[in-house]
Amino acid sequence: MKTLNTVPFVSVENMMRLVLELGIETCIEQIAGYIEEDFAKWQQFDKIPRVASHSREGVIELMPTSDGVDYSFKYVNGHPKNTRDGLQTVTAFGLLASVETGYPVLMTEMTLLTALRTAATSAVATRALAPKGSTTLALIGNGAQSEFQALALKKLCGISKVRLYDLDPAASQKCARNLEGSGLAITIYSSAEAAVEGAHVITTCTADKQYATILSDNMVGSGQHINAIGGDCPGKTELHKDVLLRSDIFVEFPDQTRIEGEIQQLDDDYPVKELWQVLSGEVPGRESDDALTLFDGVGFAVEDFSALRWLRDALQLTGRFVDLDMIADPDEPRDLYGMVIREVERMANERAAA
């Protein structure tokens, strides 16, 4: 069967329109379903820590994986200082390919898509680990990810109240403004301590690339659940070590999280549980009402794989893509040079006709 030489490409504009057509909360909910499906077959995936190139300014990473049928990778950067120049802290694009042929079947922007899948993953973890009946979220760090996180936990976990805190008050005001009309009750706090007191769920998503103490031990009580999702590189943490030592810790892929997550503060053999084990029923999640649970989420390639699968299916409904001519398609597969010669002849005929 002859393979077409065009690949569907989803631009930022088409991604925005697709998300608005389907609804942001619907997209997050659907992606969460794909993540749960893929985590259920976790053992089938190739898994390595992301390939990172670190610099003083930030990090550039590749995140590959495959389930033996499809292959995916994401290119993503993290440059916290970019905002000073009016640039995004994180940008990304990704690709889904057929393992059978090696041909790409989808290429897409992944800055928006990563925000959706990160929020979906937090919601999946929160639904599995948070106290039953949770209604209040403390959101510490109100940058680019914050609104997606709030909407995800509203849609999938029953959160109705959101407490905002950021070192930059303008960030909290931006988040509150963007969430107007969402059905969430929004309150801005002047300190992290005040925001987390009495919250059922705490999500930290700050951007600074440094060892930081966003949450100290005395700020966190028994019975709460923490999503620590700001860690994404060595030397960047958000929680005091004592919070980790009190918590039941759940991670995506330990080999990566020990490099980049909160648990880089702990010994390499410190016991943690994997989220896929909870979702598949192999290990328990929250074991008591008084437990302090922690999802140390750094983002893993399988989640991007899930988001790309979702997008491929969503395009069948929306058609929000353009075709890219990016695969050489000679008449005879072994005659690539002949394809170039034929193009020379075609161009000559066009000039003669003109």
DSSP-based three-state secondary structure for 51? strand
- 227 or 79: which carries more pLDDT confidence? 227
Tell how far CA 275 is from the center of its chain: 15
Q: How many residues does the chain have?
A: 354
In this prediction, residues 130-158 reach a mean pLDDT of 97
In this prediction, residues 120-132 reach a mean pLDDT of 97
What pLDDT, in 10s, does the model give residues 268-312? Answer: 999 999 999 999 999 999 999 999 999 999 999 999 999 999 999
As given in the structure block, the two tokens for residue 5 are 């030489």
Residue 200 contacts by C-beta under 8 Å, 6 or more apart in sequence? Answer: 130, 131, 133, 134, 135, 136, 137, 223, 224, 225
Catalytic residues: 232
What pLDDT, in 10s, does the model give residues 46-70? Answer: 999 999 998 988 889 999 999 999 9
What pLDDT, in 10s, does the model give residues 79-107? Answer: 888 988 999 888 999 999 999 999 999 99
As given in the structure block, the two tokens for residue 24 are 């942001």
Q: 6-112+303-345 — its CATH code? A: 3.30.1780.10
DSSP-based three-state secondary structure for 73? strand
In this prediction, residues 225-231 reach a mean pLDDT of 91
Structure confidence at residue 4 (pLDDT): 67
Average of per-residue pLDDT values in the chain: 94
H or E stretch at 273: strand 273-274
DSSP-based three-state secondary structure for 352? helix
How sure is the predictor about 1, in pLDDT bands with cuts at 50, 70 and 90? very low
What pLDDT, in 10s, does the model give residues 34-43? Answer: 999 999 999 9
Residue 45 contacts by C-beta under 8 Å, 6 or more apart in sequence? Answer: 38, 65, 66, 67, 302, 305
Residue 249 contacts by C-beta under 8 Å, 6 or more apart in sequence? Answer: 262, 263, 272, 273, 294, 296
Show me where the domains of the chain are located: 6-112+303-345, 128-299
128-299: CATH topology is Rossmann fold (3.40.50)
Residues 272, 251: contact at Cβ < 8 Å?
yes
Structure confidence at residue 211 (pLDDT): 75
Residues 339, 330: contact at Cβ < 8 Å?
yes
What pLDDT, in 10s, does the model give residues 19-29? Answer: 999 999 999 99
Task: Check: pTM over 0.75? Answer yes or no.
Answer: yes
Tell how far CA 156 is from the center of its chain: 16
As given in the structure block, the two tokens for residue 60 are 């550039």
In this prediction, residues 322-332 reach a mean pLDDT of 91
Domains 6-112+303-345 and 128-299 share a fold: no
In this prediction, residues 206-222 reach a mean pLDDT of 85
The count of other CB atoms within 10 Å of the CB of residue 268 is 8
Task: With a cut of 60, say whether residue 250 has pLDDT above it.
Answer: yes
112: nearest Cα among 194, 32, 192, 20: 20
What is the rounded end-to-end Cα distance, in angstroms, of the chain?
Answer: 36
Structure confidence at residue 231 (pLDDT): 72
Strands (E), 85-179: 92-98, 104-109, 136-140, 161-165
DSSP-based three-state secondary structure for 152? helix
For 310, counting Cβ atoms within 10 Å of its Cβ (0-12 exposed, 13-18 middle, 19+ buried), the class is buried
9: nearest Cα among 318, 320, 329, 328: 320
